[in-house]
């Protein structure tokens, strides 16, 4: 319901601050000047549960004012005196009395612009300065004319924030009845519709927002396949239904899509948030309607947007944390080098790896970046191992050069070697972290070998856990390790019931998105079948999920609202990706 509160507040403040209000200014019912209460605050007529404050006996009653005549000196003097009095009361903080004068001036001032000014002042004061008791006084008294509607609107907003939905709806309906043609009536009706949409739930309808057309359509189709299997909607007898929205990868369509799923399809939960550029919008709108959301993006900094949203994705932090822990505790490595592409992916992983090494008591002794389009990695490797800048090792270099020249005596020129390679590499690291694809790592491997780097290991990311990568890496001169929750191809994949089912339908191995989508659908299906029929209850169950039997092991929701799955360290042997035996 946060959306409703925020929308109403922004809308109301916008109306209050406008100087050119277009709605008609209705007259106060007691006469041309309206009520002018004193500084005495309202007192309660009754102390019962539904008591509404009224103006106490000491409050000034509305006076019957003489007729206002434009151009009449007496009228001009009276208006000027009232304006001066308003300014004095406002500066003194006597907002209740200042409000009454502004209310009167908004309907009696002979200058239309000044009347609109005081209408704006009255609305601003009502919204920002009046107490709840004073709002009740305005709402109940016909002396305040059109301002009763604004007081009711403000009271509705306050009850909505307090989650008193029935009271809030009652006030909104009163606004519609009192000022049916006004902007706040239109807004009130919209909020009422939204409130009613939040309680209409089809427990077996799951919403999905995906880019099914456009540049990211392939990803959207993979997610949809996994969801269909997880929910069982691919089977004709399934009780569940998928309500599907194509976002086309656009935030505006994603926003409209979430609203449609809630208001028209009455979904109990939504799965989506695949793209980093749309996931924030999807979560924000879902939060406004309090509909549980499972999102698949790795994007960081989203866990506070929606109280009932969980991320089902293998994040960079999860991978790096597991990989560094394995390297340091199982392989006894403590010094590391980093080579990374100068793009968002490489920079993110390089920073995370560096921070994790430090936090676990290790040390990063060297780091080099390279252009993502680079193919000649010789200078990069030379900088990494200290053989590029010869002047930094001048004495050592010239000593080796003299020895080298002496060894050439009596040999033909064709036996000469490049003097740039005289210096031995400074290899003070146990492993090199390279967050890049198999093709690039294979190229870097050749230059590491050429530079005589020995007895080291390569660490990387699950970007290597893709079909075909293991064959590319089979000729490496160095062992390579990375982390993931499954193996993308090979005999171990076929041991999973989900993989066998997926392959029987789609004739290909599932990857990360398909697996996450399948588990998301499976979780929602089982929770509903266990008797969770409301969005609130479903959201709470998602938050405390523990050891749920997923496709590749137990899933649990962390305190950061991530669906955590067990990770394993993978390596490549004989052209196949296999689990590292720790």
Q: Is the pLDDT of residue 94 over 70?
A: yes
CA nearest to 271, candidates 559, 550, 524 = 524
Q: Among 291-300, 406-415, 429-438, 464-473, where is mean pLDDT lowest?
A: 406-415
Give the residue, 13 or 126, on which the prediction is more confident: 126
* Average pLDDT of the chain to the nearest whole number: 83
Share of the chain above pLDDT 90, in %: 61
Mean pLDDT of 250-273: 95
Using 50, 70 and 90 to split pLDDT, how confident is the model at 38? very low
Query: Which H or E element spans position 522?
Result: helix 512-529
DSSP H or E run through 433 = strand 431-433
Q: What is the mean pLDDT of residues 152-179?
A: 91
182, pLDDT greater than 70: yes
Selection from 334, 302, 327 nearest residue 315 by Cα: 302
Q: Tens of pLDDT along 464-518?
A: 998 889 999 998 999 999 999 988 876 666 667 888 888 888 888 888 999 999 9
Q: What pLDDT is attached to residue 32?
A: 35
CA-to-CA dists, residue 249 to 216, 223, 243, 336, angstroms: 7, 14, 17, 39
pLDDT computed for residue 69 by the predictor = 52
Q: Which helix (H) or strand (E) holds 71?
A: none
The pLDDT of residue 445 is above 90: yes
Which of 312-316, 404-408, 416-420, 452-456 is the least confident region? 416-420
Nearest-CA neighbor of 405 among 392, 416, 393, 391?
A: 416
Among 123-127, 154-158, 425-429, where is mean pLDDT lowest? 425-429
Per-residue confidence at 399, pLDDT binned at 50, 70, 90? low
pLDDT higher than threshold 80 for residue 152 = yes
Q: Strand runs (DSSP E) across 139-221, as ranges?
A: 202-210
Instruction: Determine the Cα–Cα distance for residues 330 and 360; give it in Å rounded to an integer.
Output: 13
**Choice between 387 and 6, residue whose per-residue pLDDT is larger:** 387
User: Cα separation of 122 and 21, whole Å?
Assistant: 12
| Residue 448 pLDDT exceeds 80 | yes
> What does the buried/exposed string (b/e) look like for 167-184 if buried means 16 or more CB atoms within 10 Å of the residue's CB?
bbbebbbbbbebbeebbb
Ranges 226-235, 246-255, 388-397, 553-562: which has the least confidence = 388-397
pTM of the model: 0.66
**For tokens 């499972």, what's the residue?**
294
Give the length of the chain.
Answer: 582
So what's the pLDDT on residue 39?
Answer: 37
Of the candidate ranges 45-49, 208-212, 303-307, the one whose mean pLDDT is the lowest:
45-49
The pLDDT of residue 391: 59
Residues 185, 202: Cα–Cα separation, whole Å: 29
CA 507 to mean position of chain CA atoms: 34
| Alpha-carbon dihedral 210, 213, 219, 225, rounded to 10 degrees | 70
Share of the chain above pLDDT 70, in %: 80
* pLDDT recorded at residue 582: 59
Spatial CA neighbour of 510 closest among 496, 522, 525: 496
Assign 45 a pLDDT band (cuts: 50, 70, 90).
very low
Range in 184-193, 308-317, 483-492, 526-535 with the lowest mean pLDDT: 483-492
Report d(CA 582, CA 322) in Å as an integer.
12
pLDDT of 574 reads 86
Task: Please provide the distance, in angstroms rounded to a whole number, between the alpha carbons at the two ends of the chain.
Answer: 49
Token pair 């990374």 in the structure block, residue? 340
What distance in Å separates the CA atoms of residue 457 and residue 479, rounded to the nearest whole number?
A: 5
**CB of 268 within 8 A of CB of 197?**
no
Give the Cα separation of 345 and 322 in Å (integer).
18
With a cut of 50, say whether residue 12 has pLDDT above it: no
At residue 13, the pLDDT reads: 38
Q: Return d(Cα 486, Cα 510) in angstroms, integer.
A: 10
Question: Tell me, what's the pLDDT at 71?
Answer: 54
Q: Average pLDDT in the 237-242 region? A: 88
Which of 60-64, 198-202, 504-508 is predicted with the least confidence, judged by mean pLDDT? 60-64
Going from the C-alpha of 464 to that of each of 36, 163, 356, 433, 572, the distances in angstroms are 76, 49, 20, 13, 10
């Amino acid at each position: 319901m946060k959306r409703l509160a925020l929308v109403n507040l922004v809308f109301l403040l916008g109306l209050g601050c406008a100087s050119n209000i277009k709605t008609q200014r209705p007259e106060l019912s007691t006469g041309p000047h309206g009520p002018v209460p004193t500084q005495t605050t309202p007192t309660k007529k009754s102390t019962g549960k539904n008591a509404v404050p009224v103006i106490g006996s000491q409050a000034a009653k509305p006076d019957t004012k003489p007729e206002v005549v434009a151009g009449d000196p007496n009228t001009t003097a009276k208006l000027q005196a009232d304006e001066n009095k308003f300014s004095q009361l406002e500066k003194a903080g006597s907002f209740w009395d200042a409000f009454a004068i502004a209310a009167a001036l908004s309907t009696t001032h002979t200058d239309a612009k000044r009347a609109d000014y005081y209408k704006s002042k009255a609305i601003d004061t009502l919204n920002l300065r009046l107490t709840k008791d004073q709002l009740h006084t305005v709402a109940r008294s016909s002396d305040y004319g059109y301002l009763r509607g604004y007081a009711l609107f403000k009271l509705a907003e306050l009850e909505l924030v307090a989650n008193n939905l029935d009271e809030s709806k009652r006030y909104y309906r009163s606004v519609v009845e009192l000022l049916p043609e006004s902007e706040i009536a239109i807004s009130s009706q919209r909020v009422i519709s939204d409130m009613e949409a939040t309680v209409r739930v089809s427990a077996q309808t799951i919403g999905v927002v995906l880019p099914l057309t456009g540049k990211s359509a392939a990803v959207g189709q993979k997610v949809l396949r996994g969801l269909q299997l997880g929910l069982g909607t691919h089977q004709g007898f399934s009780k569940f239904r998928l309500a599907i929205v194509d976002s086309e990868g656009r935030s505006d369509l994603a926003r409209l899509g979430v609203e449609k799923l809630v208001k028209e399809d009455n979904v109990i939960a939504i799965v989506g948030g695949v793209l980093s550029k749309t996931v924030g919008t999807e979560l924000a709108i879902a939060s406004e309607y309090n509909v549980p959301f499972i999102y698949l993006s790795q994007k960081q900094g989203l866990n506070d947007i929606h109280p009932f949203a969980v991320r089902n994705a293998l994040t960079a932090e999860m991978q790096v944390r597991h990989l560094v822990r394995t390297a340091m505790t199982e392989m006894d490595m403590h010094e590391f080098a980093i080579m990374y592409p100068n793009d968002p992916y490489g920079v993110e992983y390089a920073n995370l790896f560096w921070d994790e090494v430090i936090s676990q008591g290790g040390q990063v002794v060297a780091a080099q970046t390279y252009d993502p389009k680079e193919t000649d990695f010789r200078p990069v490797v030379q900088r990494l191992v200290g053989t590029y800048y010869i002047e930094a090792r001048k004495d050592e270099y010239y000593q080796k050069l003299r020895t080298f020249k002496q060894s050439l005596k009596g040999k033909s020129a064709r036996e000469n070697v490049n003097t740039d390679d005289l210096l031995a590499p400074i290899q003070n690291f146990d492993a090199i972290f390279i967050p890049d694809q198999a093709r690039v790592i294979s190229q870097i491997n050749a230059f590491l070998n050429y530079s005589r780097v020995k007895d080291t290991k390569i660490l990387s990311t699950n970007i290597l856990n893709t079909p075909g990568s293991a064959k590319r890496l089979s000729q490496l001169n160095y062992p390579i390790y990375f982390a993931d929750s499954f193996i993308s191809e090979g005999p171990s994949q076929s041991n999973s019931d989900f993989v066998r089912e997926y392959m029987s339908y789609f004739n290909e191995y599932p990857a990360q998105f398909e697996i996450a989508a399948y588990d998301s659908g499976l979780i929602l299906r089982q929770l509903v079948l266990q008797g969770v029929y409301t969005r609130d209850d479903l959201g709470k169950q998602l938050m405390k999920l523990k050891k749920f039997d997923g496709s590749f092991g137990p899933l649990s929701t962390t305190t950061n609202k991530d669906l955590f799955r067990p990770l394993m360290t993978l390596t490549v042997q004989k052209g196949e990706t296999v689990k590292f035996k720790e």
